[in-house]
Structures are given as C-alpha cells and as structure tokens.
A and B are shown apart, each in its own frame.
Chain A
Amino acid sequence: SQQGEEDPQALSIQEGENATMNCSYKTSINNLQWYRQNSGRGLVHLILIRSNEREKHSGRLRVTLDTSKKSSSLLITASRAADTASYFCATAGSQGNLIFGKGTKLSVKP
C-alpha cells in the first residue's frame, strides 16, 4: 500500500543549482519524513516535519508541508555532486512501519 508519490521520478541538475522534489500522500498524517538513499546503501533519515509545521530547515535542506493539499516538498540548495542519490518521502503506517513512495532519483553533475 503506497502512501507517498514523489515527483519527478528523476532529476538531473548541475552542481550549484537547487533541486526540488515533491511528494503527495493520501491519508491524514502526524508527520512526514524524508530519507536519502545512496547507491548500494541503506536509507538515511534527513528530516521530519510534523503535521502542525509548515516549513522546516536543516542545513541546505528545506521541507514544506501543505496538509490541505496532502503534499510536501524537499528543496536542496546549492547542490553538490555528493547529493546524488534517491530521495524518498515516508509517512507512518498502522504497524509502526513507514510507507514509502517510489522515490526521486537525483543526479548532480559536477
């Protein structure tokens, strides 16, 4: 059962540019999380935004949440080659698990 849908599926930018990824979800949430997955590695938690928050920052990351539209966006500013990875949004399932979207594959070219 998929909750989040990321958009776009793939994104290719130059180093120094900003990267924006979007996520839509279906049901009401308490919070929404973003994870990064480098090639061949596990997922790493980036940021959590609660349902009563509209925006949150962490370093070069900016996350917004619009609960009325059931959508979130992740902005990475001044992208670096090391940001090349897949990015997933996730919401809480009923079993204590996370329900992930299919992810956005970001490629940052030097």
Chain B
Amino acid sequence: NAGVTQTPKFQVLKTGQSMTLQCAQDMNHEYMSWYRQDPGMGLRLIHYSVGAGITDQGEVPNGYNVSRSTTEDFPLRLLSAAPSQTSVYFCASSPGNQPQHFGDGTRLSIL
C-alpha cells in the first residue's frame, strides 16, 4: 500500500492563478480531509468528505473547492490564488473514527 499520496510536493504560483492539489489513498478509507499548516498555527481543517459524493466545509474553507467523485481521490482546488494561501497542505484519510493517515504534504508558495 502506498497510503496517502499527494502531488505535487512543491508548487509556486502567481497571485490569481488557479491550481489543483491532488490526493489519493489506496486504503479504501471513507473519510478524507484537507488541512493547512502554517507556522505557529498548527493544522487547520479546510474541507472534508465522509464518502464519495459527500463533502463539507471545515474551519477555513474560503478560496478552496473540493469534490469527491471516487473513494480514492479528493482533490483540492485553489480558485484564484492569494498570498495568504501560502502554506503547507496536508491530505489525510481514515476509516471513520480512527487515527488518520497523512500524506507528505504540498508546499505551496504564492507570489
């Protein structure tokens, strides 16, 4: 099992550009989520999904969209990148109310 795979690992964008951060898991987990990690802020929940076709907002959803068409994939879209979205983004999955498995993150810089 590869676990949770995130691509790309690094990305630099210009303000106003859009992009999609990819997340895939091969453990057949129903629950998937996106966090952002900023210095001194810990991890904050952006969006989450409890199964294919079901998504909901977390603590800091503004500027981000998600979709869940399959159990395996949970992409995060930045609609119009802003410097405030410079962060490290982590995708996580779990089989319900269990410890979560994290990807290695995408380091995103927005100029």
Question: Which A residues fall within an 8 A CB radius of B?
Answer: 1-2, 33, 40-45, 48, 88, 92-93, 95-98, 100-103
Other than the known A41-B104, A42-B4, A42-B90, what 17 A-B pairs have Cβ atoms closer than 8 Å?
A: A33-B99, A41-B105, A42-B102, A42-B105, A48-B99, A93-B45, A96-B31, A96-B48, A96-B50, A96-B94, A96-B96, A97-B35, A97-B48, A98-B100, A102-B40, A102-B41, A103-B42
Question: Which B residues fall within an 8 A CB radius of A?
Answer: 4, 31, 33, 35, 40-43, 45, 48, 50, 56, 58-59, 90, 92, 94, 96-97, 99-105
Cβ–Cβ < 8 Å partners of A1 in chain B: 59
Cβ–Cβ < 8 Å partners of B92 in chain A: 42-43, 98
Count of A-B contacts with CB under 8 A? 54
Cβ–Cβ < 8 Å partners of A48 in chain B: 99
Minimum distance in angstroms from B61 CB to a CB of chain A: 11
Asked, given contacts A2-B42, A43-B90, whether A97 binds B58 with beta carbons under 8 Å apart, the answer is yes
Q: Name the CB-closest residue of B to A93.
A: B45
Please determine whether B43 and A100 come into contact, CB atoms closer than 8 angstroms.
yes
- Across the interface, A88 reaches (CB within 8 A) one of B41, B42, B48, B97, namely B42
Cβ–Cβ < 8 Å partners of A101 in chain B: 42
Q: Report how far A92 CA is from B94 CA in the complex, Å.
A: 13
Asked, given contacts A48-B99, A92-B97, whether A97 binds B104 with beta carbons under 8 Å apart, the answer is no
Q: Name the CB-closest residue of A to B30.
A: A96
Q: Report how far A1 CA is from B96 CA in the complex, Å.
A: 21
Interface centre among A1, A33, A42, A101 (most CB of B within 10 A): A42
Cβ–Cβ < 8 Å partners of B40 in chain A: 102
Please determine whether A100 and B42 come into contact, CB atoms closer than 8 angstroms.
yes
Minimum distance in angstroms from B108 CB to a CB of chain A: 14
- Across the interface, A42 reaches (CB within 8 A) one of B50, B58, B96, B104, namely B104
